[in-house]
Structure 1
Amino acid sequence: MAFRLERGSTGFRHFSDPPLPETDPRACRAAWYAAARAACGQVGTFAEQQYPQNFHSATINDRDGADIALFHAQYPLIAFVDDRRYWYTDGFQDPPAWAASLDDCGFTVLSASLLMSPLTEADTAALSAAEWRQIKHWQPGTLGATLFNSWD
């Protein structure tokens, strides 16, 4: 079954469209602290979404090094990445084993293979015309690049 991109999952809408849902940064932060406990690590940073990014980012430092995650600003989706960047077209990583604790907090942790899959393999029927204009302009090749972007 194809992954379904919900309306607003690109972070865009037409001004006349209803407001997009929001993932509360406090819920993201609370989940991240729970994940740090599960990882036996410490929260390094938690940076709330800054325009034009449509994601929050966070780091956990544990005995194996730093793990970096992106929290989608509209939906409870999480991607793990190789390093902090302004935007992502690649660099998605599989989540560490302790990331399962994020599911218990109501988030969906996405695999690297899903995030690196072509956008053409996703169910995009719910996307709005405004989102399709952005996709045509920015031409993201992957599901991850569509979900976690810094388009303006």
Structure 2
Amino acid sequence: MFALERGATGFYDPRDGPLPRTDTHALRAAWHASARAAGGRAGEWTDQQYPRTYHTAPVAERGGLHLALCHAYLPLVAYVVGPGFRHVHEFGDPPAWSRPFTESGFTVLSPEQLNTSLDDVDTTVLTDAEWREVRFWEATTLGGVLFNSWD
């Protein structure tokens, strides 16, 4: 069972202190290594900005454009099918050349994992405030909670 960790939703109570931050330098290094492994090129990195919980990291290669979502607070990476994604059910398979992320200590999640129902996820770390957001935004899957743009 996948267990959510503090920072999963991007929401927090300032009294609890700031959320952990993913090492952006390590993420960007793994992204560039992935692009080299693909024989492609890294596109334009977009830093996480409120209200998103993730950075975007595109790689263009012969097979097309692949867009990685790199969680800003947890060492998690997901791939989406294209730039017009809505985050909830449009996750794609990680390309074979995404291995530099795992070699750098990040977890690359599969569509099966990301589409796991919250009923099958350990959500005990979520606060009441986070649950209000989950319900308000009608997030029902692991990926919908992790990779969101809630405000």
Distance in 2 between residues matched to 1:49 and 1:85, nearest whole Å: 17
AA at the equivalent of 2:126: L
Greater mean deviation of Cα atoms: 82-91 or 136-145: 82-91
Q: CA deviation at 1:94?
A: 1.0
Q: 1:100-123, CA deviations, whole angstroms, 9 ceiling, x for partnerless residues?
A: 221011110000011011111111
Stretches of structure 1 lacking an aligned partner (at least 5 in a row):
none
Q: CA deviation at 1:72?
A: 0.3
Equivalence for 1:139? 138
- Aligned pairs for 1:12-31 within 5 A: 12-31=11-30
AA at the equivalent of 1:45: E
Equivalence for 1:121? 120
Distance in 1 between residues matched to 2:12 and 2:54, nearest whole Å: 16
| TM-score relative to the length of structure 1 | 0.93
SS in 1 for 2:44: strand
Q: 1:23-59, CA deviations, whole angstroms, 9 ceiling, x for partnerless residues?
A: 1322221110011111111101211012111100011
Equivalence for 2:58? 59
Identity over aligned pairs, percent: 48
Q: CA deviation at 1:87?
A: 4.5
Change (3 A) 1:34 1:104: same
SS in 1 for 2:2: coil
Whether contact under 8 Å (2:27, 2:101) holds in the other structure is no
Equivalence for 2:108? 109
Whether contact under 8 Å (1:86, 1:150) holds in the other structure is no
Whether contact under 8 Å (2:65, 2:82) holds in the other structure is no
Distance in 2 between residues matched to 1:7 and 1:132, nearest whole Å: 13
| Alignment partner of 1:73 is 2:72 | yes
CA RMSD in angstroms comes to 1.4
AA at the equivalent of 1:123: D
Change (3 A) 1:85 1:23: farther
| TM-score relative to the length of structure 2 | 0.94
SS in 1 for 2:14: coil
SS in 1 for 2:131: helix
Equivalence for 1:38? 37
